Structure 1
Amino acid sequence: MILVTGGTGMVGAHLLYQLVLQGEQVRAIHRPDSSFEGVKTVFGYYSNTPDTLFKRIEWVVADITDIPELTNAFKGISRVYHLAAMISFNPSQYRLLRKFNIEGTANIVNLCIDHNVTKLCYVSSIATLSSETKNKPIDEESHWNPEEPHTIYAITKFGAEMEVWRGTQEGLNAVIVNPSVILGAGFWLSGSGKIFGKAKKGIPFYTRGEMGFVDVEDVAMACIMLMNSPIINERFILNSENWSYKRLLQTITQRLNTPVPKLELKPWILQIGWRLDWFFHTFFRTRRKLTKRTAATLINRKYYNNSKIEQQLGFRFKPLEDSITTICERMK
């Protein structure tokens, strides 16, 4: 039986659908307050009988920071997809991020070893890769550089990766995937889904940065293919194409028939913006929306090399134009 953590998230929902479709026995953990609406919505994109497929999943209440709950969830498990993660860029949540992302992953790794799990797939992030590549695209050999500025999210995802690599030294077979910015439908209020939601209302501004993007369906299928392959103890970048934020937003708004953003948010405006955000958070307890690190990512230009998985698995990524068209159609 397969265990999936983070199954109520966007990647988890698409992964669960593919696993169930392939006839796998699947158990997925969730927290008591989790909502299944996003998962059912995603299943509905692919099937006329989403409830029937949903019922094939064995849902178990467990928190990855609760070892007794996790231990029960691991009974009879042979393979694990670990997707659960806390995402935040607010420095005040650093301790909570460490507990969930690093300690939680350590718990998963330890239980994989204790239960003789045959293989673990950990979904990390391109945020753990160094951007200092001497004018060449970032690849799997672009190792973490502690001297670079990092978000707290990146720091804790790197710490989680170290737990996985530690597990491989103790006999666990594992693969790590590092997706770029994941685009997908069904979760419009979180992650990249917010981009589409805002674009539907109209976004007048864009920033000059560039980044890698990948379809959520590609992420799910790449994970499954790697788990079904003999490849172990390696990492793979999952990235379809490298686009500018301007091109991304213009393409989305064109598909949604909303005004195309034409005004550039200059770097100096972002510098003022994150400082104002910090001020209001500090003195009026507002929620952080723009930190110094996230402001930097909006103007940085980063390019990612996806050739390793293409060469080793023959994997072919969907063109972003096609991905965006499909996502926007599902949003209407």
Structure 2
Amino acid sequence: MARGDLALVTGATGFVGAAVARALQAAGFTVRVTARPGSDRRNLAGLAAETVPLDLAAPASFAPALAGCRYLFHVAADYRLWVPDAAAMRQVNVEGTRALLRAAAQAGVERTVYTSSVAALGLTPDGSPADEHTAILPAHHAGAYKLSKYDAEQAVRVLAGDGQDIVIVNPSTPVGPGDVKPTPTGQMILDAARGKIPAFVDTGLNLVHVDDVAQGHLLALQKGVSGQAYILGAENMMLRDILHMVAVQAGRRPPAIRLPIAPLVPVALIMEQIAALTGKTPLMTRDVLKMARKKMFFSSARARQELGYTPRPAAMAVRDALDWFRREGMLK
């Protein structure tokens, strides 16, 4: 892998994709990024990269974007925790991924790093950290997004098994600078920093700095084994501790009320019904509550041992996220 090698990054207008593109540029790669017409391109500011159109629902756009690329980082995905049309999400995340990777092989791309998610992995019954070998059960498929990412990863594994050079990475819950949309987790950080989260449910997440996730992508390109998956996470934390950390850093009072999940289910149902009528994303869904019943804790031991992955503490990720939100005027 030499300086100047051309790498295509899909989803570079998004949170993780932009971080991957910046990391590649800093490492000396020539970077090409994709963007759909009309997409928010704020994350591309300051990035010395050619921007080309690509739509995962339009396979005709694949070949021109891939032409001349030695490497592909397929980061793009439809990431929403509630969708009115699950079939449309599946078309992008599963069928679009399969078609793009086949097009990459035809275009002569030497190696692909595919961005999956811990949403595609199983969870342990006792809440201990899961890893790449933890069995996934039907009960773990809470919602269209998780199911689409699981099926997409299985499709990628089939392609790798057929001989295509593809390394899989599974980011946990990234936070940090550049979350322009913001992501559901970024919105939670924002709301907590604004003092808008007075209570919490008893669940847990694995937080990781988005720039560490980006570095994990580069390490996967350099050292990953084709067909192998690597969890890119950092620190397992209970939600109450995450919200406390955000509140302290933002100068707010931490939430002190613990809510049981069961009484929230009918409330979530009503919110979903309203969302179906208005088209606006509900503040809470039954799938989110279903996920909250499990501690989404994960181990990055394989990535640490095999790739040399060294993520920083979650507190630094939250600090950098809040600093960026503050500079962008989003904490007002």
Structure 1 gaps of 5+ residues are 41-49
Aligned AA (1:105): T
**CA–CA separation in structure 1 for the residues paired with 2:279 and 2:30:** 46
Q: Paired residues, what number?
A: 319
Q: Structure 1's 148 and 36: CA in aligned 2 closer, same or farther, altered over 3 A? A: closer
Residue in 2 that maps onto 1:111: 103
Q: Unpaired runs of 5+ in structure 2? A: 1-5, 327-332
Q: Is it true that 1:200 corresponds to 2:193 in the alignment?
A: yes
Specify which of 27, 34, 37 is matched with residue 32 of structure 1. 37
For the 8 Å contact 1:128–1:154, the answer to whether it is kept is: yes
Equivalent position SS for 1:28: strand
User: Does 1:5 pair with 2:10?
Assistant: yes
Conserved? CA contact 1:188–1:196, under 8 Å: no
Measured after TM superposition, the shift of residue 298 of structure 1 is: 2.7
* 1:76 is aligned to 2:68: yes
Aligned twin of 2:182: 190
2:164 is matched with 172
Query: Which of 224, 231, 240 is the matching residue for 1:237?
Result: 231
Compared with structure 1, are the counterparts of its residues 113 and 170 closer, same or farther at alpha carbon in structure 2 (3 Å cutoff)? farther
In the TM superposition, 1:13-92 aligns within 5 A as 13-40=18-45, 50=46, 54=47, 56-90=48-82, 92=84
Structure 2 letter corresponding to 1:255:
Q
Are the counterparts in 2 of residues 177 and 238 from structure 1 also a CA contact under 8 Å? yes
In the alignment, the residues of structure 1 paired with residue 67 and residue 8 of structure 2 have an alpha-carbon distance, to the nearest angstrom, of 10
Tell me the C-alpha RMSD between the 2 structures: 1.9
Which amino acid letter does the alignment assign opposite residue 155 of structure 1? Answer: L
Distance across 2 between alignment mates of 1:69 and 1:284: 32
- Give the letter for the 1:26 counterpart: V
Structure 2 CA distance for partners of 1:283 and 1:59, relative to 1, 3 Å: closer
- The whole-number CA distance in structure 1 between the counterparts of 2:188 and 2:25 is 29
User: Per the alignment, do residues 235 and 259 of structure 1 end up closer, same or farther by CA in structure 2, a change over 3 Å counting?
Assistant: same
For residue 282 of structure 1, report the CA deviation from its aligned partner: 4.9
Q: Does the 8 A contact of 1:208 with 1:298 survive in 2?
A: yes
For the pair 1:312 / 2:318, whether they are aligned, the reply is no
Q: CA separation of 1:276/1:83 partners in 2, compared to 1, >3 Å: closer, same or farther? A: same
In the TM superposition, 1:235-274 aligns within 5 A as 235-274=229-268
- Give the structure 1 partner of residue 150 of structure 2: 158
* Aligned mates of 2:232, 2:248 — CA distance in 1: 26
Equivalent pair of 1:188/1:197 in contact (CA under 8 Å): no
Q: CA deviation at 1:133?
A: 5.0
Map of 1:47 onto structure 2: none
The 1:117/1:283 distance shift into structure 2, 3 A limit, reads: closer
Identity among equivalent pairs (%): 24
